[in-house]
Amino acid sequence: MTQHTGTAAQQAAALREAIDDANYRYYVLDDPSIPDAEYDRLMRALEALEADHPELATPDSPTRRVGARPAAGFAEVRHPIPMLSLSNAFSDAGAPEGTDPNHEVRDFVHRVEQGLGVSDPEFAVEPKFDGLAISLRYEDGVFVQGATRGDGSTGEDVTANLRTVKAIPLKLRGKGWPRVLEVRGEVFMPKAGFEAYNARMLHEGGKPLANPRNGAAGSLRQLDPHVTASRPLAFYAYGVNLPPDPDAVIADRHSAAMVKLRGWGFPTCPQSELVRGAEGCLGYFRKIGAERDRLPYGIDGVVYKVDRYDQQRELGYVARAPRWAIAHKFPAEEQATVVEAIDIQIGRTGAATPVARLKPVQVAGVTVTNATLHNADQVARLDVRVGDNVIVRRAGDVIPEVVRVIPERRPPHTKPWKMPAHCPVCGSAIEREEGEAAARCTGGLVCAAQRREAIRHFASRRAMDIDGLGERYIEDLIEFGYLHSPADLYRLTVDDFVAMKRRAEERDGVVPETVKAGKIATKWADNLVAAIEASKAATLERFLFALGIPEVGEATAKTLARHFGSLDALMRASEAELTEVDDVGPIMAAHIAAFFAETRNRQAIAALRKAGVHWPESAPQRKARGPLAGQTVVLTGGLSSLTRDEAKDRLEALGAKVAGSVSKKTSFVVAGEAAGSKLEKAQALGVEIWAEARLLDFLKSHDG
């Protein structure tokens, strides 16, 4: 957060200036300069300062209004009833033991209870959508005007653009609607539509959107409605403008009004519910938080509203927000921090990935100290430098990444970053082939970083499946000189494992676990040696996947094994012959041919065969056979009747190729419980969807 020092008046002036600048960039320029979390902190600091020093509160303070004035280019619309923002509540994940991390929500509910003189009032609860708030005006059932929130009192007339959003009814359905109806809601861009749009832009050489929220806001503020019409926008209604006359209200409570809106043709959020009291609100917050990554749209929290309209009127408003509603926000997925260093991380194929070492910052409830920069081109595009203030994003289980630099905060004398010429681990040259995004360390298994990752991959469950050989054991075996290549695994003895663990315990200064009751415990080592021995009996596809050939995943390894039938035939294949294999293009063929042409790789394969690794060979199978031959299937979500691996194996046995991502070439998607973004993308692309029951019926009909 920006630090403000000096007298209280100076602090207030500095805060107002920072907030006004952020509002201008967000509402007028459509170019946010700071993340929402930092904006919230600035606003809270100003509110607290003005509360302590009321004489400092000015009529034009950001605490007295919602946002900035509308931009030039659109006509102004005066809102008959202001579109106020909501006060925010946050959960404090770092609250000291014995204190309530959710006290802000409980305080809100307590204020409502005291104001109404009731216990456990009923709340309408719904996700807080990550889009653009709008107001829609209907006269005699016909859509006549749509406006943005703007500064809360005056917005922008975007009627022509809103007419292009198919989710917004141009004429109301049913009957019973009032002569004049004002509906409020959110225009947003669904996740699947955002991904599909960006994929199309990249394919066509256009500029992709930064994120769904900016995409929605920017789409509505286009001067050409045809541009808006080309964007994948959606809409949910979340409220009605309550007229001053209670007799003119369409329902006696919010939830009933939403039912009426649905009947008149407005989409409303299917995740909306009714709950009672603070516990009901917090339970809903936890539930939606757990479902957040699987929702088809982005959210940044939940909203709690007193359901009854008479109670809303009784509670009333404060200067800039209703007393009867509050937004409970999730921990921010974007935060500002400082790049303290840029290091290089070496992967199992030698890929040299730049990683930003950051001043620790809380992002989405997790302390983030590192963020990927992907590759040298990305660093150059963002112009990230050591010392820069940057925005870091972490969503769901995605690895934290730097998404942009804050150039106005760049310290003087910073220098553009360059990829080092040599590997920081082994000193070998780092080279980048023409046409490749990644630069690579040329050290191969000489490089300890590549060796560690290569052996970890080799032993993994879907590769050679060496049960119990975890990453820590692999690191210690390498450190103490027991492992230099995958073939060394097959020379390890029980004594080697026991000695390795004892040395690791001495290094870490812990009491040896290898000795119990005066005896050396070796059962764990016996099990590891047995697991390594068992892995010698492999299949060709597992072995190919275990080798870690660049660009060759599990599905491609299986295709190569079926196509060539033997490892020797594959190793002899030319690039032209490799491109005849399904889904192997020129780049992948070049990687495969180069891998087998490399002397040290051929020596590593020979050493593994000499150590006893073997598999049954088969006749080449140029075309898959079975009822699903030539079809590509994607599995998503949880299946109740069989595991994902079992379903994959049975589908492949029927000739299908089971892929990990959805594309236009996907034949169908099997969607289980809690299916996520793959299902959304399939729906956006018009790919056929199979429920689990249909899959089971199909498998049963083709058993035997």
Q: Is beta strand 430-431 parallel, antiparallel or unpaired with respect to 515-516?
A: unpaired
Catalytic-role residue among 128, 305, 501, 678: 128
Catalytic residue status for 128? yes
> Other CB atoms closer than 10 Å to residue 489's CB: what's the count?
24
Which of 595, 647, 608, 272 lies closest to 455, judged by CA? 608
Vertex 347, ends 345 and 353: CA angle to 5°? 40
Residue 423, φ and ψ in degrees, nearest 5: -65, 130
3-state helix, strand, coil in the chain (%, to 5): 40, 20, 40
Q: Is the dihedral of CA 209, 212, 218, 221 positive or negative?
A: positive
Name the strand (E) or helix (H) holding 335. strand 334-346
Q: At residue 274, what is the residue type?
A: L
**How far apart, in whole angstroms, are the C-alpha atoms of residue 563 and residue 66?**
64
| Distance between CA atoms of residues 198 and 29, nearest Å | 22
- Provide the 10 A C-beta neighbour count for residue 380: 13
Nearest CA-CA partner of 288 in 269, 271, 268, 305: 271
Q: Tell me whether strands 668-671 and 632-636 are parallel, antiparallel or unpaired.
A: parallel
Stretch (H or E) spanning 478:
helix 471-479
Q: Sign of the C-alpha dihedral, residues 238, 243, 248, 251? A: positive
**DSSP E strand boundaries for 364-468:** 366-372, 389-393, 401-405, 430-431, 439-441
Q: How far, in Å, are 7, 72, 151, 469, 494 from residue 221 at the CA level?
A: 40, 11, 15, 56, 69
Catalytic residue numbers?
Answer: 128
